[in-house]
Amino acid sequence: MKHSLYTLLFFISLFFGCTKKNTQNEIDLNSNDSLSSYLSLANDFDLPSQQREQYIQTAFKIISTQENDSLHRVNLFKVANRYYNIENWKEYKKMVRLVLEKSAMQQDAFSLAKGNNYLGDYYDSQGIPDSSFLYYNKAEKIYFELNDNYNLAKTIIKKANLQFNQSDLLGAEKAVSKALKIIKSSNKSDVLYDAYNLLGLIYNELEDYNTAMRYHNKALTSIDDELMASFYQPKATSYNNIGYLHLKKQDYKQAKKYFQKGLDQKNVFQDKPTLYAMLLNNLAYSKFKLYEKEGLPDLFFQSLKIRDSLQLSAGVIASKINLSEYFISKKDTFQASLFAKQALELAQKTNNYRNVLNSLKQLSIIEPKNAAIYGNEYIQVSEKLQKSERKMGNKFTRIEYETEEIKNENTDLVQQNRNLVYIFSGLAMLGLFSFVIRTQKAKNRELLFKQQQQMANEEIYNLLISQQNTIETNRIKEKKRVARELHDGVLGRMFGVRINLDSLNKIDGGTAVSKRNDYLIELRNIEQDIREISHDLNREKSELINNFVAIVDNLFEDQKKTYKSKFISCIDSGIKWELISNSIKINLYRILQEALQNINKYANANTIKIELKKEEDHLILKITDDGIGFNLKTAKKGIGLQNILFRAKECDGVFDIESSKGTGTIITVTAPLK
């Protein structure tokens, strides 16, 4: 009754404590909604699991917006830990998978090892030892490569625990010895505790009780109260294990003493309810074996209730078998049979062969009439258990072997990859050499083309000079023809009129008046002839002067006829082309040709505008299009643009180009008048 009262008072204090704490937390939440606050609240064991889960979800919303750096992954592990503490296995697994994915993206080996360790914990909690062993093994290999002895040793001990639970005692002992060798030079009390504690359990199962007791005592002395938080309850765990050792030795008084010491540890129920339930059940069984009535069967039922609420199937089975044993001692065969059958049903449902055997053994004692039936079933299950344990042991061995094999294959792959790197490097060098040769040949062809183009330009220049000479020759011939016309025609007629007018001075009367009128008409005719000759001279002069404009107009006409783009040209009529050097005219003409060719070929323009004007002592040629444009920073200068730049320099001019994607292109050439 003492323990029943203790438990009742504990639950009452826990209820009021949670209420008070909850109110305070809500106040804190309103005043500080930082990530650290939510994570702290999510890890507050005084709060209900549902409320803690809400804080976890809120914390994760904040973390999910962070960049995938080391701090982000640390926070994701914290979220996973809190899901583990409230036993939300689905979200725990999901979070661990997420952090593994993000760790792989950043090639974070430490987080990958930690994530595999967490997955091992998950499958261990779900009772899937082979998967758990696989992920622990992956973590072990990464920690080994990182030379992280502390985490390496801890992971090996986790593997050893799995081997122990599957009755692979030899494998478990070897693994613990390996872990101890790894940390022998360091003082890691938590790893030492886990190692010594597990060795004590192993030797207890081997019934080497003296060695088992020695390791359990070493585990107790290795506890560092500052390093190992009370949350892990190492002392309560060791007291339970030592009590169980005395229980197997049938030293029930000593067993009871240690189970009670375990229960007397502070906050055992809050920190480790599973351990608390185990201590209660073991204490009750010790009292039962000592024929003590106080607290029985209440202690059994309290343990069963906690285990059932935590869904600890193995613990529930153990409690019901002990209750069956208790009630058979009280001659209550109905209750004894009921609990034994419930234990058997749950053991079969969870494929827990060891507890199936314990349940069948208990039923054969309760129902002697059916002992033969239970005995046959016991033999069959025992064989299944041996096969299952042997199979699981083989799985563990195969996982380690295959991992080692993969490691060797990876070494071979590294060598192969190194050879491939050498081969590809050689091929790359050959390719580079070939590329350089082809590039040099292309440059030579480009140089040859430029030389040929220069020769063509010189030929064009000579043709234009020849044309200009022809025009000048024709101009001289025309001047001579006009001189002959004036001399032979107009001047002769004017001389005749002047002589006749002189002769009229000697004549009087009507005849003289009539003669004068005839001579005036003749003078008008001569005046008209002179005007026509003057007009002809002006027209010929204009044609000679504007010969460059005519050539350009022909180029523009060809552009309009050949291409669909709208073409606009504007040439300043005030430019005196006869004063401009032939070199400038030729280069401007070639720039116009090159620019129009580039626009037609690449720009896909709807409108092209050409402006040629004089500003002070400079000629300005501006060529505008509304085509697709190009990026001046990234585009390589083609030969067309190089030619325009070259011709602008030939004129001692300045070349400028403006263009960007989607905004068209503007080319401006400014040449000084010479």
| CA neighbor of 568 nearest in space, from 620, 647, 640, 622 | 622
DSSP conformation letters of 588-656:
HHHHHHHHHHHIIIII--SEEEEEEEEETTEEEEEEEE-S----TTTSPP-HHHHHHHHHHHHTT-EEE
Q: Which residues pair with 620 in a beta bridge?
A: 613, 670
pLDDT of 498: 63
User: CA 135, CA 123: separation in Å to the nearest integer?
Assistant: 9
Nearest-angstrom CA–CA distance, 329 and 323: 10
Partners of residue 618 on adjacent β-strands: 615, 672
* Tokens encoding 391: 């199979």
Residue 610: the pLDDT is 94
Token readout for 453 is 């183009």
Q: Cβ of 327: how many Cβ atoms within 10 Å?
A: 21
What pLDDT was estimated at residue 665? Answer: 92
**Number of other CB atoms surrounding residue 198 within 10 Å:** 24
- What are the structure tokens assigned to 560, written together? 């309009």
Rounded Cα distance, 563 and 602, in Å: 13
Average pLDDT per consecutive 10 residues, the chain (674 residues; last block may be shorter): 35 36 39 73 84 90 89 89 86 90 90 90 83 88 89 90 83 88 79 89 88 90 68 85 91 93 89 89 92 90 90 86 88 88 84 74 80 71 61 58 54 67 82 83 78 68 63 67 58 62 64 69 70 58 58 85 89 85 84 88 90 90 91 67 84 88 90 83
- List Cα–Cα distances, 330 to 34, 325, 326, 368, 598, in angstroms: 59, 9, 7, 17, 109
- Please name the helix (run of DSSP H) or strand (run of DSSP E) that holds residue 287, with its range, or none: helix 273-289
Residue 298 burial (C-beta neighbours within 10 Å; 0-12, 13-18, 19+): middle
Residue from 599, 618, 601 nearest 667 by CA: 599
pTM, entire model: 0.52
Percent helix / strand / coil, the chain, rounded to 5: 75, 5, 20
Q: φ and ψ at 396, to 5 degrees?
A: -60, -45
pLDDT at 542: 45
Q: What pLDDT shows up at residue 301?
A: 92
Cα distances from 448 to residues 53, 146, 441, 455, 457, in angstroms, run: 78, 62, 10, 11, 14
Rg (CA), the chain: 54
The whole-angstrom separation of Cα 340 and Cα 356 is: 10
Q: What is the DSSP string of 33-77?
A: --HHHHHHHHT-TTS-HHHHHHHHHHHHHHHTTS-SSHHHHHHHH
- The candidate with the shortest Cα–Cα distance to 666, out of 605, 606, 622, is 622
Nearest to 530 by CA among 493, 577, 502, 585: 493
Number of helices (H), then strands (E), belonging to the chain: the values are 25, 5
**Residue 363: exposed, middle, or buried by beta-carbon count in 10 A (0-12, 13-18, 19+)?**
buried
Q: Dihedral of CA 43/47/53/56: which sign? A: negative
